[in-house]
Structure 1
Amino acid sequence: MATAISVSGRRVECTDDQSMLEAFLRAGIWMPNSCNQGTCGTCKLQVVCGEVDHGGSPLDTLTAEERAAGLALACQARPLAETEVALRGEEMGRTTHVLRDLTATVVEVEEIARDTRRVLLGLEEPLAFSAGQYVELLVPGTGERRQYSLANTAEEDKVLELHVRRIPGGVASEWLFGAAAVGDRVEVRGPLGDFHVPDADEDDGEPMVLIGGGTGLAPLLGIARTALERHPDRTMVLYHGVRTAADLYDTDRLAELAATYRGFNLVTVLSRESVPGHRSGYAPDAFVDDIASARGWSGWLCGSPALVEAGVKAFKRRRMAPRLIHREKFEPADAVGAGN
């Protein structure tokens, strides 16, 4: 059974097993979205008329007062009757990629750092996405979904690259660091998320700083390579923050970027040891030490909530415009039901 929902004059059918967000994205209608777990509030919208079931919307994300005022989380709510919604302060008409379900085949599982693996998933047909977005993986034999950022550029659309950190006791970790093998079939849904490069005609070639913690490097790789291909002379600094040198990975790949693009610079930062050739401390602090002013720069952050919050403060301290700060924060997979 399906119920009609509409936004800005566009009408779609929402089935009983779908959230409003999923119904809109599957119809190719853009909706702001980030965590898709009800924890970030990015997809909060106004119910203009009709009635919704708020589902698993947490009270600390959508308060009782907000519910009474007609607000809802699109990723959690479903319509109980024909419903019209409106975005809050957002413009419709943004480009988006249709949310799709695909079957992928594991083509490579490689150890790339301590407790970190690169997983390559081959697709029978390409998936359209923007660099920086993520996919949901249905963990075989569990019925559980986990989220992983793509390290790909949009042109690399038939073999998806995921960077996976081991989470003790994690549902996905048990499979990816255990029985997962080349040839395994896995269900994938995507693309999802608003953390991605702008469309080419909106990319002015401004200087960029990217800060990733651990496997938060994954989406930054796709973003960095896309941005540099568009504007080969742009200034870009990428900070990769990890605990020890054993946690670093893809340094050769990043060194190749530095050799190809004269404006690109990699800074590796270790928080728990001192090793020649690497900075000691925390990546946001290294940025503050290096850049006197980031006015006119765009900033990109991916990692733990602590890293993202520290990065936002560091960017603002160096006078970066808030509208140019992009962030993707994640918790360990089984803490919130998703993980990067």
Structure 2
Amino acid sequence: MPFTATVGDREVPCEPDQPMLDAFLRAGVWMPNSCNQGTCGTCKLRVVDGDVDHRDSPADTLTEDERAAGLALACQARLRSNVVVETGGGAGRATHPLRDLTATVREIEDIARDTRRLRLGLPEPLAFHAGQYVELTVPGTAVRRQYSLANTADEDKVLELHVRSVPGGAATEKWIFADLTVGEQVQVTGPLGDFVLPPADEDDGGPMALIGGGTGLAPLIGLARTALARDPNRKIVLYHGVRGEADLYDLDLMAELADSCPNFAFLPVLSHEPGNSTHRTGFPTDRFLEDIPSARGWSGWLCGPPPMVDAGVKAFKRRRMAPRVIHRENFTPAAT
């Protein structure tokens, strides 16, 4: 018999081996979540009544002192009894339910060096927010890998993913870049993640700075297109940091957005081709500091490798951006 987890006025049954976060999201009850692997700590909550099994919660994400104080990682914890939990930021409100779907590969396209675009057709629409991600299960294994959606929310029947090959990667080099074919069926779980715009009625319409590293561009495309659909005159600067020109992609799409939206700017930045390109060089966070004298009243959006995200947070704060409106999505290595 399942135990029950309660947050606010919402009660959710949890199966014996089901992570608490998974149960809440499948019930359409929102809780903070980002990596869903136990490495980021976003889903950390306090168990105020009852008992949980912490399972594989990493000690550097959830310390012994925190466990003793009643904290837990919702993405790892399993219930040992009925529990009551507390977490900040509006946990317990309604959200798009987490679902499992079988998708069909519609398109595989090489778009940049070691980078492919996948388009996956769904048998029915998947409700999500721009900026969220889905998990793919590698066939014949229990291995799951997470990929951000480049879609806007109304593009809900064909999901677009940007995938970079990782040497030895179970999902990339050994599957997506090896023998995945058009027409193949893949298992998709989603939506996941908190890297989303405020609801339209809560969005202040202020300027936005977006910085993506590599395929960290994918969710930023969905966010930028969603924000511009709300207000085509909104000021948005989108930096794409890559090693070289061979890593750039979707330049035509970015040019179309710039043509139709007068205050949108797309700015590629190359880190390993100084002097050999018409594009700017260095690091995108440094170019942001050069371009924007003050980001007071702006919101910031960062997606890519953790060092780039960390540098972006510092750059945004240097330009007086309020910490509460700095949003980040770290692309961390898959768990072993």
TM-score, structure 1 normalization:
0.96
Greater mean deviation of Cα atoms: 269-278 or 232-241? 269-278
Helix, strand or coil at the partner of 1:186: strand
The alpha carbon displacement at 1:93 in A equals 5.2
SS of the counterpart of 1:307?
helix
SS of 1:254 mapped into structure 2: helix
Tell me the amino acid that sits aligned with residue 321 of structure 2: M
Whether the 8 Å contact between 1:242 and 1:269 is mirrored in structure 2 is yes
Partners of 2:15 and 2:55 in 1: CA distance: 14
What does 1:190-229 correspond to in 2, within 5 Å?
190-229=190-229
Find the counterpart in structure 2 of residue 143 from structure 1: 142
Name the SS for the 1:287 alignment partner.
helix
Q: Give 1:257's aligned residue.
A: 257
Residue 91 of structure 1: CA displacement? 2.7
Q: Is the 8 A contact 1:293 1:318 kept in 2?
A: yes
Amino acid at match of 1:156: E
For 1:212 and 1:95, locate their aligned partners in 2 and report how far apart those are by CA, in whole Å: 29
Q: Which runs of 4+ in 1 moved over 2 A?
A: 89-95, 274-277
Corresponding position of 1:10? 10
1:277: which partner in 2?
Answer: 278
Q: Is residue 153–residue 222 contact of structure 1 (8 Å, CA) maintained in 2?
A: yes
State the AA in 2 paired with 1:137. Answer: L
Q: For the Cα contact (< 8 Å) 1:167–1:332, is it kept in 2?
A: no
Deviation track 1:12-54 (CA, whole Å, cap 9, x = no partner) reads 1101231000001111111000000001111111101111000
Letter in 2 for 1:215: T
Kept in 2, the 8 Å contact 1:5–1:13? The answer is yes
- How many angstroms does 1:3 deviate by? 1.4
Q: Confirm whether residue 165 of structure 1 aligns to residue 167 of structure 2.
A: no
Cross-structure match for 1:109: 108
Quote the residue 1:119 is aligned against: 118
Taking the aligned partners of 2:277 and 2:166, their CA distance within structure 1 comes to: 29
Larger mean CA deviation between 66-75 and 8-17 belongs to 8-17
Distance 1:93 1:204, change over 3 A: farther
State the aligned residue count: 334
Write the distance in 2 (CA, Å) between the matches of 1:285 and 1:200.
31
Q: Distance in 2 between matches of 1:8 and 1:107?
A: 42
Report if aligned partners of 2:245, 2:277 keep a CA contact under 8 Å in 1.
no
**Which residue identity does 1:167 align to in structure 2?**
V
Percent sequence identity is: 68
Give secondary structure in 2 for the equivalent of 1:6: strand
What is the CA-CA distance between 1:7 and the residue it aligns to? 1.1
| Structure 2 unaligned regions, length at least 5 | none
Root-mean-square deviation (Å): 1.0
Distance 2:89 2:160 in 1: 31
Partner Cα distance (1:211, 1:283) in 2: 7
2:299 equivalent in structure 1: 298
Whole-angstrom CA distance in 1 between matches of 2:266 and 2:299: 16
- 1:61 corresponds to: 61
Partner in structure 1 of residue 289 of structure 2: 288
C-alpha deviations, 1:49-101, integer Å up to 9, x for none? 111000110011000011011110000001111111111x3334544211111
Q: Which amino acid aligns with 1:265?
A: A
Letter in 1 for 2:212: G
Match of 1:179, SS state, is coil
Q: What is aligned with 1:324?
A: 325
Rounded to whole Å, the distance in 2 between the matches of 1:153 and 1:90 is 24
Cα distance in 1, alignment partners of residues 311 and 186 from structure 2: 36
Matched, 1:99 2:101: no
